Amino acid sequence: MASLTGNRLLIAVAAIAIIVIILAGIYVAGFGREEKPAEEAATPTEREEAPAPQQPEETTPTETPKEEAPTKVKIIWASTQLVPAAEQAFVKGELLPPFTRETGIEVEFVGLGYDALVTRLQSEMEAGKATISVIADLHGGLDLFASKGWLEDLSKFGALEGRSFPKVLEDYSNLYGIKAYVPWLTATYVFVVNKDAFKYLPPGLTEEDVVNGSEKWTYEALLKWAENIYAETGQKALGFPAGPKGLFHRLLHGYLYPSFTGAQVKNFDSPQAVEMWTYLRELWNYVNPQSTTYDAMANPLLKGEVLLAWDHTARIKDAIVQQPDKFVVVPAPRGPEGRGYILVIVGLAIPKNAPNQEAAWKLIEYLTRPEVQRLILEKVGFFPAVEGVAEKLPEGPLKILASGVANQLAAPDSLVALIPSLGGKGGEFSQLYREAFQKIVLEGQDPQAILPEFKRALMSLFEETGAKLPPPDE
Amino acid sequence: MTGRASTGLLRVIREWYKPLLLLAPALAYLGLFIVYPIVDSFATAFFYKGYFSLESVKYLLYSPLSKFWEALRYTLVLAALVVPIETTLALIATLVLLQPFKGRDTAVYILTIPIAISDVAAGLIWYSMLTSKGFINKILLGLGLIDSPIVFFGYEYRDRALLAIVMAEVWRSMALVFIIIFAGAQLIHKELFEAAEVFGASFWVKLRHVLFPLIKPSIQAALIIRTLFAFQVFAVVWVLAGRDVPVLAGEAYYTLVELYRFDVAALYALVIAALSMSTGVLYLRFLRARHLEVGRS
């Protein structure tokens, strides 16, 4: 009898154990399946362009005070930006509550990946039943949506009072004959100079030339400068984020290629491109060899391992915040074809036949107010799309950053490069530039032998995805 | 007829249900966490939208972006360097720490600290020590031994980066080997050494004929565990050298996270699994502890 109860107990325990294990397994396996598409959906573009998360404790969502507004409207705002947890907390806890208090409009912020947004919009358009009222996405994505006729023409709402946008942003936001989006946020990549480096400026180049991005601030001058520092101090003072998680490929396709060949992709194997690679090979003699392990330039700058560095604004911000007196942010140098630089534009659009369009426009109006733009800059590090915000910032690290960015935007010879919208193929696009660099500059192979093959691979990415060549290629 | 068969079946069930039940949790565990992932990896690597496809193999072998052969070579080189070095060092440490002396316990604790440090942290520690503005370069510069900092990292210096990886890996994982061997050595009865001494055995004779045969099973266990781990080396390499020194696990991570090639990443995982399993089999075949075999025949 005793042994029987013993058996029962044994059976019960074993059965429970098995059930628990199986359930756990199913849960884990099922969970993994759910995650996969989401991972795929987050394209490299927006991951990389997302600034480093700000330290978030104070931005945890606080309960929105529920005031009964006269007309209770709720709209959905789908965004591929500000998706990381800390940034979403800022959006839901700090950015939106004042808007709801002011207008009585409730906003549901839905952070999602680019591929997920495309799928959702497509199915809504095909079903003829729109649920999303506002979209926030990069220029490339909005361009695609506009080309398919999925966006409302925003000119019907009139102009936004009390703010102005730089011309380059206005121009890009007019697509296929409509005002497709309102520019909301920008981000870019800049050079950072340790002020000590100004002691070794080559003859003919002044500090003002560099800071304001004058005609004389060229890639040739950068080479001379780095050469000078090396001759006088023995230090290879230039640094690039060429580590595996670094954004060095953006320098190649968005800065060097446009500056030397006038295009990102089109002239990939042209004689000017060969010239560019030859230049980079020479420049590399003065680049800190540890660059191939740098993922972000803030630390190498702070440690003094490099005096001149190029990186995404979010990835050098730490250096400037910690030692604002030591560094200046300057525009990129120019090349024979102009001053190529990448501008990341995030725009706000309204899908065709979206519900509550008046409320949606009110949200867009709120999000592009100068003071709101400044709040976003302070909290998540995206730069404003409206003019005049940088000048009004108090002296300090943010102003150093913002005025560097503003100087780059204002340079008359600028050649704006936009990151192509290749979705999941974006990684391969970047990697082809990186691999060309590895073979030509690091391994010393002949560019003429390599470039044609790589160009074919690049072009096939555009054919496979049906994406357009990004500006300035067209 | 059927009645008898069913009673027979019942008897079998009655006889077997208890052992099966006892085995069930282990089987469920193996099924869920070993068999299922392997099957799923195969499916991910070789099937695309329900059809058999060799795209992943094509990428691995022919894509200009693939660093497969280099990664395979570096993984094997690292295992061949790290495992023997750390085993030798662990043996020496065991010999020293078997002698009674004051502070021995403290020494054992200090030696095993690295086991508690995550591999990413270990990589970062070594990176910040060896970087051109790191404290090792600062000390050497301060002592006047070198004129300009020694660069350990970067593509042009990847042989030095390899050296740094070997140092970091040995430092980090020697602790594990040491613990296994040291634990084995502590189980040896003192009487055996005393008996050997009575017969006038020298230090070397005691080592060769008493200690080694008795700790051989521990050494083998440590070797198997460490070699298998060595094929999975990732975080330390990633932190110290990025893709300048590609390794298999690093390439798996890279193709998944940067290129979204789930199939290629799964194929890398399978290559690592195949490498680990075949090495495991070889170890078990050729290094079987002798005392186990004595009991057999």
Three-state helix/strand/coil letters over B245-290: CCCHHHHHHHHHHCCCCHHHHHHHHHHHHHHHHHHHHHHHHHCCCH
- B141 & B4 share domain: no
Average pLDDT score over residue span A78-106: 92
Which of A29, A40, A292 lies closest to B155 in CB terms? A292
Q: Determine which of A150-164, A404-418, B31-45, B279-293 has the lowest per-residue pLDDT on average.
A: B279-293
Cβ of B64 and A17 within 8 Å?
A: no
Counting every residue written for chain B, the total comes to 297
Please state, in angstroms and as integers, the Cα–Cα distance from residue A120 to each residue in A43, A75, A125, A128, following that order.
16, 16, 9, 12
CB A294 within 8 A of CB A242: yes
Is the pLDDT at B102 greater than 70? The verdict is: yes
First to last CA, chain A: 87
Half-sphere exposure of B44 (CA within 13 A, CB side): 20
Three-state DSSP state, B214? helix
A10: which chain B residues are within 8 Å (Cβ-Cβ)? 18, 21
| Domain co-membership, B49 together with B133 | no
Of A299, A389, A342, A326, the closest CA to residue A52 belongs to A299
Is residue B64 pLDDT above 50, yes or no? yes
Q: What is the mean pLDDT of residues B104-131?
A: 90
What is residue B297's predicted lDDT score, i.e. its pLDDT?
39
Average pLDDT in the B229-249 region?
93
Domain boundary among B35, B53, B71: B53
Core vs surface per residue B132-164: b (16+ CB within 10 A) or e: bebeebeeeeeeeeeeebebbbbbebbebbbeb
Q: How many Cβ atoms from other residues are within 10 Å of residue A37's Cβ?
A: 12
Element (H, E) at B98: helix B68-98
Nearest CA in chain A to B124: A293
Count Cα atoms within 13 angstroms, Cβ side, for A217: 22
Mean pLDDT of chain B: 88
- Which residues does chain B have within 8 Å of residue A40's beta carbon, measured at their own beta carbons? 260, 262
A228 pLDDT above the threshold of 90: yes
Residue whose tokens read 């703010």: A163
User: What pLDDT does residue A60 have?
Assistant: 38
**Mean per-residue pLDDT for B117-127?**
91
Judge whether A207 and A215 are in contact, CB under 8 Å. no
Pairing of strands A308-312, A132-138: unpaired
- A181-192 pLDDT per residue, tens: 999 999 999 999
- Counting every residue written for chain A, the total comes to 474
Contacts of B187 (CB under 8 A, 6+ apart): B214
- The answer to whether residue A52 neighbours chain B at the CB level (below 8 Å) is no
For testing contact with chain A, the best of B132, B152, B247, B261 (most A CBs within 10 A): B132
Q: Do B154 and A10 touch (CB under 8 A)?
A: no
Q: Please give, rounded to a whole number of angstroms, the shortest distance from the CA of A25 to a CA of chain B.
A: 6
State how far Cα B127 lies from the chain centre: 21
Residues B112 and B219 in one domain: yes
B147's enclosing H/E stretch is: none
B154 touches chain A (CB under 8 A): yes
Q: Does B234 touch chain A (CB under 8 A)?
A: no
**Dihedral (C-alpha) A348, A352, A357, A363: value to the nearest 10 degrees?**
-10
Confidence (pLDDT) at A392: 82
Three-state secondary structure of chain A: CHHHHHHHHHHHHHHHHHHHHHHHHHHHHHHHHHHHHHHHHCCHHHHHHCCCCCCCHHHCCCCCCCCCCCCCEEEEEEECCCCCHHHHHHHHHHHHHHHHHHHCEEEEEEECCHHHHHHHHHHHHHHCCCCEEEEEEEHHHHHHHHHCCCECCHHHHCCCCCCCCCHHHHHHHEECCEECCEEEEEEEEEEEEEHHHHHHCCCCCCHHHHHHCCCCCEHHHHHHHHHHHHHHHCCCCEECCCCCCCCHHHHHHHHHHHHHHCCCCCCCCCHHHHHHHHHHHHHHHHECHHHHHCCCCHHHHHHCCCCEEEEEHHHHHHHHHHCCCCEEEECCCEECCEEEEEEEEEEEECECCCCCHHHHHHHHHHHCCHHHHHHHHHHHCCEECCCCCCCCCCCCHHHHHHHHHHHHHHCCCEEEECCCCCHHHHHHHHHHHHHHHHHHHHCCCCHHHHHHHHHHHHHHHHHHHCCCCCCCCC
Whether residue A43 is predicted with pLDDT greater than 80 in this model: the reply is no
Task: Flag whether residue B151 sits within 8 Å of chain A, measured between CB atoms.
Answer: yes
In the numeric block, which tokens belong to residue A106? 């409730």
Q: What is the mean pLDDT of residues A206-222?
A: 93
Any A CB within 8 A of B13 CB: no
In the prediction, which pLDDT does B217 show? 87
Does B28 contact A22 at a Cβ distance shorter than 8 Å? yes
Please indicate, yes or no, whether residues B44 and B67 belong to a single structural domain of this protein. Answer: no
Q: In the prediction, which pLDDT does A468 show?
A: 84
Shared domain for B47 and B72, answered yes or no, is no
Could you give all domains of chain A from N- to C-terminal order, each with its CATH number? 57-187+344-400 (3.40.190.10), 188-343+412-465 (3.40.190.10)
**Cα-Cα-Cα-Cα dihedral sign, residues A393, A399, A403, A405:** negative
pTM for the whole structure: 0.77
Q: Judge whether residue B75 has pLDDT over 90.
A: yes
pLDDT in tens, B190-224: 888 888 888 888 888 888 888 888 888 899 889 98
Task: Tell whether B241 and B186 lie within a shared domain.
Answer: yes
Nearest to A435 among B65, B154, B241 (CB): B65
Task: Identify the bridge partners of residue A342 per DSSP, sorted by sequence position.
Answer: A417
* A346 bridge partner residues: A138, A185
Domain co-membership, B35 together with B97: no
Q: What is the four-CA torsion angle of A79, A83, A87, A88, rounded to 10 degrees?
A: 70
Q: Which CATH number is B94's domain given?
A: 1.10.3720.10
Measured between beta carbons, the chain A residues lying within 8 angstroms of B161 are 293
A253-285: b (≥16 Cβ within 10 Å) or e: bbbbbbbbbbbbbbbbbbebbbebbebbeebbe
Listed by number, the residues of chain A in 224-243 with a beta carbon closer than 8 Å to a beta carbon of chain B are 234, 243
Decide if B64 and A11 are in contact by the 8 Å CB cutoff. no
Interface test with A, best of B38, B126, B260 (most A CBs within 10 A): B260
Residue A55: is its pLDDT beyond 50?
Answer: no
Determine what percent of chain B falls in helix, strand and coil, rounding each to the nearest 5: 80, 0, 20
Residues of B in contact with A303 (CB under 8 A): 131, 133
Find residue A188's DSSP bridge partners: A343
Per the CB < 8 Å rule, is B25 touching A21?
A: yes
**Among A39, A292, A305, beta carbon nearest to B132:** A305
A293 touching B (Cβ < 8 Å): yes
Over residues A117-129, mean pLDDT: 89
Confidence of residue A11 (pLDDT cuts 50, 70, 90): confident
CA angle B131, B137, B138 (to 5 degrees): 115
pLDDT digits 0-9 by tens, A353-389: 999 999 999 999 999 999 999 999 888 888 888 888 8
A10·B21 Cβ contact <8 A: yes
Closest-CA distance, B259 to chain A, in angstroms, reads 5
Predicted pLDDT of residue B289: 54
**In the structure, what pLDDT confidence band is assigned to residue B288 with cuts at 50, 70 and 90?**
low
**Which of B137, B259, B264 to mutate to test binding with chain A, by most A CBs within 10 Å of its CB?**
B259
Q: pLDDT value at position A6?
A: 56
CB interface of B with A, residues 86-125, below 8 Å: none
- Spatial contact of B272 and B252, defined as CB atoms under 8 Å apart: yes
Q: How far is B264 from chain A (nearest CA, A)?
A: 13
Is residue B251 within 8 Å of B237, Cβ to Cβ? no
Looking at the fold, whether B140 and B30 belong to one and the same domain comes out as: no
- Relative to beta strand A339-349, strand A132-138 is antiparallel
Three-class DSSP category at B203:
helix
Of B17, B65, B67, B150, which to mutate for an interface test with A (greatest number of A Cβ within 10 Å)? Answer: B65
Are residues B9 and B150 part of one domain?
no
- Dihedral angle sign, alpha carbons of residues A134, A406, A92, A358: negative
CB atoms A293 and B18 under 8 Å: no
- Residues of A whose CB is below 8 A from B157: 289
A134, two tokens: 């506002």
Q: What confidence score (pLDDT) does residue A25 get?
A: 60
d(CA A424, CA A441): 27
Which residue, of B10, B29, B53, is where some domain finishes?
B53
Average pLDDT value for residue range B236-243: 92
Same domain, B117 and B24: no
Task: Please give the residue of chain A at the shortest CA–CA distance from B254.
Answer: A244
CB-based contact (8 Å) between B23 and chain A? no
Q: Do A14 and B36 touch (CB under 8 A)?
A: no
CA B250 to chain centre: 15
Which residue, of B53, B74, B90, is where some domain finishes?
A: B53
A457 touches chain B (CB under 8 A): yes
pLDDT confidence band for A168 (50 / 70 / 90): confident
| Of the listed ranges A194-198, A206-210, B4-8, the one predicted with least confidence | B4-8
Query: Residue B13's domain spans which residues?
Result: 1-53
User: Does residue A175 or residue A57 have the better pLDDT?
Assistant: A175
pLDDT at A30 over 80: no
Query: What is the pLDDT confidence band of residue B4, given thresholds at 50, 70 and 90?
Result: low
What is chain A's alpha carbon radius of gyration, rounded to the nearest angstrom?
25
ipTM of the complex: 0.75
CA distance A247 to chain B (A): 12
Q: Are A305 and B131 in contact (CB < 8 Å)?
A: yes
Distance CA A109, CA A111 (A): 6
- Supply A207's token pair: 């500090």
How many structural domains comprise chain B?
Answer: 2
Residue with tokens 């953006």: A250
| Closest by Cβ to A453, choosing from B32, B64, B133 | B64
Contact between chains at B24 and A18 (C-beta distance less than 8 A): yes
User: What's the whole-number mean pLDDT along residues A346-350?
Assistant: 95
Q: Say which of B22, B131, B259 has its CB closest to residue A290.
A: B131
Q: How many CB pairs under 8 A join A and B?
A: 92
Indicate the SS3 state at residue B189.
coil
Q: Lowest-pLDDT range, A51-65, A143-157, A296-310, B241-255? A: A51-65
Chain B contact for A85, CB < 8 A? Answer: no
Of B25, B65, B127, the CB nearest to A14: B25
Both structure tokens of A129:
């039943």
Q: What percent of chain B clears pLDDT 90, i.e. is strictly above it?
A: 46
Q: Is A310 an 8 Å CB contact of chain B?
A: no
Taking the Cβ of residue A39 and every Cβ of chain B, the question of whether any pair is shorter than 8 Å is answered with: yes
Same domain, residue pair B189 and B230: yes
Contact check, Cβ <8 Å, B28/A21: yes
Mean pLDDT across B121-150: 89
Q: Measure CB to CB from residue B260 to each of A24, A295, A424 and give the nearest one.
A: A424
Using CB atoms, which residue from B22, B65, B254 is nearest to A244? B254
Do B266 and B203 lie in one domain? The reply is yes
Q: Is B59 near chain A, with CB under 8 Å?
A: no
Say if the Cβ atoms of B155 and A288 lie within 8 Å: no
Q: What pLDDT shows up at residue A35?
A: 36
* pLDDT of amino acid A76: 96
